[in-house]
Structure 1
Amino acid sequence: MATRPVETGPTGERVAANIAKIRRQRGWDQRKLADRMTEVGRPMRASVISKIEKGDRRVDVDDLVALARALKVSPVTLMLPGRDEREPVPLLPGETVSWQGAWRWMHASAPPPEDVREDDFIGLLNWLAENRPYLSEGEFRRQHPGVHEKAADQFMDTDTREEEEGEEDGPGS
């Protein structure tokens, strides 16, 4: 039984293009990047780098991390368009977000709009806490001023509504 090859999506295509672009910006040939890959502990031949850049070989997550280390950038830098390309970003087939929205999501600064409503401060607080576990509560409050208070207000509004609804259904109603 033949297996169907997994197609490379828009993010995979962008990774391949960004590897070539950043490598060239460094003034490196594919051999130099291959040497850097060996230095970071994930040996890769120049011919493999060539296949990646042409889109003939997919990059797995371990390759992505090693390539980012070798190129001295973050993995996100390989996955997203740079400052010079501020067009909407296709994340998946059929899903496009703004350039800033993509960067904010990848840096866990903000969820995609479809994931949390703009006025759902409890949802936003939960999303941020789950996606930024490295922040202390103080750092979180400094970086996201007002979110705790708005979430607390929203929680209190929800709690108060539930209490009021409970009173209507309680004894003597």
Structure 2
Amino acid sequence: MVYSQIDKITLDTDKFHRVHNNVYRIAQNHATLNGYRYLSSGKVRAMAGRKSSIGPTGEAVRANIIRIREGQNLSYAEVTRRLTEAGRAIPELGLRNIERGQRKVDVDELVALAQVLGVAPITLLMPYTEQSTDSVHLTGSRGVTSARLWEWLTAETPLGGHPETSAELWEWLMRCRPLWQIESLLSDLRHENPSDYGDD
């Protein structure tokens, strides 16, 4: 629209400047009006106050960090100091935001947090429950029992339960566990049942 108006201007310099200034003023007012509408719509306020969305597993991590840190009477400053020494620094404000659910924890941070809090990574991932039959939620799946989730996180059984055949279970175990652990498991089975492997 602006350029179409300018194209119609004659070579009269004064007239050109008058029209140019009018067009510029109209465009400036239009931009100001749109900016006001955007600000008054509440979108900017919503974006400024929006929390980082976390799922069920992120929520479990957040709650476990609070529980374990407070259980050891560790201050934010102390946890930050330990994380800095571990090479994965998170400032005190970052820790507070994690516990408030306003900041996500990445994989490297989760491992570092587990180390400085004196627990295993699985401890932070596992929702804290009192009974093995308690229902828990995790990202990407419907609710399962606490025991079933623990067995899956420790690569004991698939999340959906025990496979129908031993061959399917072994296939799953070989995908989940390191080779040395599979060999150790096979060695234990041979020792417990030598006749099944022709060792007697």
Alignment gaps of 5+ in structure 2: 1-46
CA distance in 1, matches of 2:119, 2:104: 19
Is 1:91 aligned to 2:138, yes or no?
A: yes
Distance 1:53 1:143 in 2: 44
Deviation at 1:49, TM superposition (A): 0.4
Residue 34 of structure 1 deviates from its aligned partner by: 0.9
Q: Secondary structure at the match of 2:87?
A: coil
Determine the structure 2 residue equivalent to 1:168: none
- Please state how far the C-alpha of 1:7 moved relative to its aligned partner: 2.5
Give 1:136 deviation, angstroms: 4.5
Shift of 1:81: 2.3
Cα deviation, residue 92, structure 1: 2.3
2:165 alignment counterpart: 120
| 1:95 shift after superposition | 1.2
The 3 A distance-change label for structure 1 pair 138 and 65 is closer
Deviation at 1:121?
1.4
On the 8 A contact 2:52/2:104 being kept in 1, the answer is no
Counterpart for residue 63 of structure 1: 109
1:140 CA drift (Å): 3.7
In the alignment, which residue of structure 2 is the partner of 1:31? 77
Runs (4+) of structure 1 exceeding 6 A deviation are 3-6, 143-146
Deviates more, 1:14-23 or 1:129-138: 129-138
Paired residue for 1:130?
Answer: 175
CA distance in 2 between partners of 1:54 and 1:29 (Å): 15
Distance 2:119 2:186 in 1: 25
Higher relative contact order (CA 8 A, sep 6+): 1
Whole-angstrom distance in 1 between the partners of 2:188 and 2:53: 42
Q: Which runs of 5+ in 1 are unaligned?
A: 150-173
**Post-superposition shift, 1:84?**
2.8
Q: Percent identity?
A: 34
CA RMSD, Structure 1 to Structure 2 (Å): 2.8
**AA partner of residue 132 (structure 1):** R
CA offsets per residue over residues 47-103 of structure 1, 9 Å max, x none? 110000010000111111111111121111001123536421111265111101111
Distance 1:138 1:35, change over 3 A: closer
- TM-score, length basis structure 1: 0.72
Paired residue total: 144
Please, what TM-score do these two structures have when normalized by structure 2?
0.63
Q: Which residue number corresponds to residue 156 of structure 2?
A: 109
Q: Give, in whole Å, the separation in 1 of the partners of 2:55 and 2:169.
A: 28
Q: Please point out which of 41, 49, 55 is paired with 1:9.
A: 55
Q: What residue identity is the alignment partner of 2:87?
A: G
